[in-house]
Amino acid sequence: MVADKNMNYRDDVDSVRKQIDMVGYVAASLQSDGPLGKGPKAAECLRMYPEFDCPDDEFDAELNYLIDELNEEVGDDVIAILNDIVKGYKGDAKQMLVSECSHKHPRSKLPKKTNLEVTEDIHESLPGRNIQDPIRDAVIWVASSPWSSRLDMMRDIRSLLQYVRDGELPEDSSYFIECVVECEDEYWDVGHLHAVVDTDVPWYHHPDVTIDDLRESDPSEITQSPSVRGKALAIAVGNSDDSYTREDLIDLAEDLFAVSTPRTAEGYVDAAGIESQDRFEFHVMDKISEIADQRRRELSRDLSNADWRVVGLKGSPEVVDGVYNDPRDAIEAAALLKRNLESNHRDKTAQEQLKEWVGDKEEEFRRANSSDD
pLDDT, one tens digit per residue, over 130-158 is 888 889 999 999 999 999 899 999 999 99
- Same domain, yes or no: 128 and 258: no
* Mean pLDDT value of segment 103-121: 83
Q: Is residue 359 classed as helix, strand or coil in its secondary structure?
A: helix
Q: Is 282 exposed, middle or buried (0-12, 13-18, 19+ CB in 10 A)?
A: buried
Q: What is the mean pLDDT of the chain?
A: 84
- Is residue 310, in this structure, part of any structural domain at all? yes
Per cent of the chain over pLDDT 70 is 91
- Same domain, yes or no: 359 and 290: yes
Res 366 pLDDT > 90 = no
What backbone torsions phi and psi does residue 245 show, to the nearest 5 degrees?
Answer: -80, 170
- Same domain, yes or no: 292 and 242: no
- Is residue 195, in this structure, part of any structural domain at all? no
**Cα–Cα distance, 2 to 43 (Å, whole number):** 9
- Is residue 154, in this structure, part of any structural domain at all? no
- Same domain, yes or no: 65 and 121: yes
* Mean pLDDT value of segment 257-273: 88
- Same domain, yes or no: 214 and 349: no
Answer whether 297's CB lies under 8 Å from 289's CB. no
Res 329 pLDDT > 70 = yes
Domain finish residue from 272, 306, 327? 272
Domain finish residue from 272, 289, 304? 272
Res 129 pLDDT > 70 = yes
**Cα–Cα distance, 5 to 266 (Å, whole number):** 57
| Distance (Å) of CA 277 to CA 16, 68, 208, 246, 362 | 58, 42, 22, 7, 19
- Same domain, yes or no: 141 and 24: yes
- Amino acid (one-letter) located at 270: D
- Is residue 153, in this structure, part of any structural domain at all? no
* Mean pLDDT value of segment 259-282: 82
- Is residue 175, in this structure, part of any structural domain at all? no
Domain count, the chain: 3
Answer whether 321's CB lies under 8 Å from 282's CB. yes
Q: What's the pLDDT at 212?
A: 92
User: Taking the CA of residue 15 as centre, how many other CA atoms within 13 Å lie in the half-sphere pointing to its CB?
Assistant: 18
- Is residue 244, in this structure, part of any structural domain at all? yes
| pLDDT confidence tier of residue 368, bands split at 50, 70 and 90 | confident
Could you tell me the residue range of the domain that residue 30 belongs to? 2-147
| pLDDT confidence tier of residue 54, bands split at 50, 70 and 90 | confident
- Same domain, yes or no: 8 and 24: yes
- Is residue 187, in this structure, part of any structural domain at all? no
Res 9 pLDDT > 60 = no
**Cα–Cα distance, 1 to 6 (Å, whole number):** 14
- Same domain, yes or no: 21 and 135: yes
- Same domain, yes or no: 267 and 284: no
Q: Tell me which residue of 286, 284, 277 sits closest to 321, measured CA to CA.
A: 284
- Same domain, yes or no: 124 and 253: no
- Same domain, yes or no: 97 and 8: yes
* Mean pLDDT value of segment 305-319: 86
| pLDDT confidence tier of residue 69, bands split at 50, 70 and 90 | very high
**Cα–Cα distance, 22 to 224 (Å, whole number):** 59
- Same domain, yes or no: 211 and 348: no
- Is residue 368, in this structure, part of any structural domain at all? yes
Q: Where are the alpha helices (DSSP H) in the chain?
A: 24-29, 38-48, 58-74, 78-87, 90-100, 120-125, 132-144, 150-166, 175-182, 191-197, 211-215, 226-238, 246-257, 262-272, 284-299, 307-310, 327-339, 348-372
| pLDDT confidence tier of residue 30, bands split at 50, 70 and 90 | confident
